[in-house]
Amino acid sequence: MKKIVIAIDGWSSCGKSTLAKQLAKELGYLYVDSGAMYRAITLYFLRNHVDWTDKKEVKKALKEIVLEFIYNDNTQSGEIFMNGENVEYVIRDLVIAEKVSEIAAIKEIREFAVAQQQKLGAKKGIIMDGRDIGTVVFPKAELKIFMTADNAVRVERRFKELYEKNPNVSIEEVKDNLEMRDYIDSHREVSPLKKAKDAIILDNTHLTEKEQLQQALEWVKARLLNTRSATDFLRSV
């Protein structure tokens, strides 16, 4: 069966990774969380006191960073490793979220991450979520989904997620962080968050996870029928 590339973009905390992981499981595709790469780079910069306003320091630091996604059988999903360390969980902290958009706006950092993302997608059969996947990373992706949800719903979802790990977190902090990240992500000069012209909008404010998955699977089916070679099609009838 022919494999396609699925690009999922959208605002912070609107369930992109939830949908992407479920789709990957259903289709047997690779899932890549591109935001995790920017978060891991942010972690490295904070830990090593890299001055990201200094291009020379940024370039030097990037040479020291090796990022990998390694599949975890227990969670049934890829987890990000930075220089051999599993940083999948530590990068979800609000301390990282407060700086990541600023760091992800730097041209050299985007070039570093995008080159690796494109390599991962070279063989297709991949689902990647982020902010510029349908516009910059995979402009020819066969299926592009642009996700959105009401602000209040997104804040509530992210608050619940963070509160489980840290009961000291406040809903105001989470709301401010989401608004700030959405603003920076959609206003930066290099590859800002925007809907690709050929992306389908998925507003999940009133959808359950199951409903959104079903909807996305229908879009995948339609794309597979359109992109299958004539021989593949004849084999299946």
Which of these ranges, 78-86, 98-106, 148-156, 200-208, lies near ligand DC under the rule CB under 6 A? 98-106
Cβ nearer to ligand DC, comparing 40 with 224: 40
Cβ nearer to ligand DC, comparing 132 with 142: 132
CA distances in angstroms from 161 to 67, 138, 155, 157, 167, listed in the order given: 25, 29, 10, 6, 10
DSSP per residue over the chain, as a string?
A: ----EEEEEESTTSSHHHHHHHHHHHHT-EEEEHHHHHHHHHHHHHHTT--TT-HHHHHHHHHT--EEEEEETTTTEEEEEETTEE-TTGGGSHHHHHHHHHHHT-HHHHHHHHHHHHHHTTT--EEEEESSIIIII-TT-SEEEEEE--HHHHHHHHHHHHHHH-TT--HHHHHHHHHHHHHHHHH-SSS-----TTPEEEE-TT--HHHHHHHHHHHHHHHHHHHS-HHHHHHH-
Which of these ranges, 47-55, 119-127, 129-137, 160-168, lies near ligand DC under the rule CB under 6 A? 129-137
Cβ nearer to ligand DC, comparing 100 with 216: 100
Does the footprint of ligand DC cover residue 11 (CB under 6 A)?
A: no
Does the footprint of ligand DC cover residue 177 (CB under 6 A)?
A: no
Does the footprint of ligand DC cover residue 100 (CB under 6 A)?
A: yes
Does the footprint of ligand DC cover residue 39 (CB under 6 A)?
A: yes
Smallest distance, ligand DC to C-beta of residue 64, A: 20
Does the footprint of ligand DC cover residue 169 (CB under 6 A)?
A: no
Q: Using CB under 6 A, which of 185, 212, 220, 224 touches ligand DC?
A: 185
Cβ nearer to ligand DC, comparing 12 with 212: 12
Which of these ranges, 47-55, 61-69, 96-104, 214-222, lies near ligand DC under the rule CB under 6 A? 96-104
Count of residues in contact with ligand DC, rule CB under 6 A: 14
- Interface residues with ligand DC (CB under 6 A)? 12, 34-35, 38-39, 100-101, 104, 130-133, 181, 185
